[in-house]
C-alpha cells in the first residue's frame, strides 16, 4: 500500500500512484497487488480541482483510485490474511486517524519517501518474524530513514 499524506494534494496522490505502479512492475504476476491509497473521501477530491485536472490530463480517471471511505485496512494483521506493507509518501509519520483506528499499522511501514525532515517515528522490517505480529507483519527492528528527495532546479533554455 502506498499512502500519501492527509492533505491528499497533487504531489501526494501522484507520488502514490507512481510508486505503486513502479513497485508492481518489480513483482511476479501472481503477487499481491500494490495500491495507491488516497487519504480523503471520494467526494472530497472535487475540491482539489487542480489535482482532478492533473489526473485527467495525464489520462488517469480519478474514479479508478481507492479512497479512504471505500477501503479500510483490516482491524488486525491476522484479518488481512497476508502481510500488509505500508509505504508513506510525502509525509514521514503515520496519520493520527490511521494510527488511532489501526494500532498495528505504524509497525507495517516498509518505507518512507518524503522531502521533509524525518521525524524518526517508524522502523523498517529486516525480514524477521518475531514479536506479537509474527507471521502476518514483521515488527521492524531498526530505525527507518526517509529517502530525502533533493529538488533539482534547472533553468529553461
Give residue-wise pLDDT tens across range 40-85.
999 998 898 999 999 999 999 998 888 888 866 677 767 766 677 8
What Cα–Cα distance (Å) separates residue 146 from each residue in 18, 65, 143, 149, 151? 18, 25, 10, 9, 15
Mean of pLDDT values over 8-35: 88
CB environment 120-135: b (16+ within 10 A), e (fewer):
eebeebeeeeeeebee
State in words which class domain 2-148 has.
alpha beta
End-to-end CA distance of the chain: 39
**pLDDT tier, 124 (very low <50, low <70, confident <90, very high otherwise):** low
Q: List the domain boundaries for the chain.
A: 2-148
Please report the pLDDT score of residue 109 as a whole number: 84
CA–CA gap between residue 147 and residue 116 (Å, rounded): 10
Amino acid at each position: 500500500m502506498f499512502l500519501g499524506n492527509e492533505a491528499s494534494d497533487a504531489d501526494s496522490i501522484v507520488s502514490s500512484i507512481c510508486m505503486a505502479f513502479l513497485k508492481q512492475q518489480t513483482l511476479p504476476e501472481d503477487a499481491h497487488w500494490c495500491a495507491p491509497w488516497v487519504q480523503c473521501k471520494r467526494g472530497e477530491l472535487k475540491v482539489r480541482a487542480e489535482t482532478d485536472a492533473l489526473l485527467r490530463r495525464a489520462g488517469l480517471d480519478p474514479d479508478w483510485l481507492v479512497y479512504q471511505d471505500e477501503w479500510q485496512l483490516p482491524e488486525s494483521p491476522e484479518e488481512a490474511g497476508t502481510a500488509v506493507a505500508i509505504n508513506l509518501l510525502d509525509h514521514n509519520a503515520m496519520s493520527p486517524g490511521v494510527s488511532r483506528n489501526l494500532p498495528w499499522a505504524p509497525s507495517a511501514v516498509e518505507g518512507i519517501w518524503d522531502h521533509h525532515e524525518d521525524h524518526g517515528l517508524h522502523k523498517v522490517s529486516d525480514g524477521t518474524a518475531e514479536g506479537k505480529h509474527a507471521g502476518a507483519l514483521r515488527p521492524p527492528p531498526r530505525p527507518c530513514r526517509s529517502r530525502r528527495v533533493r529538488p533539482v532546479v534547472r533553468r529553461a533554455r
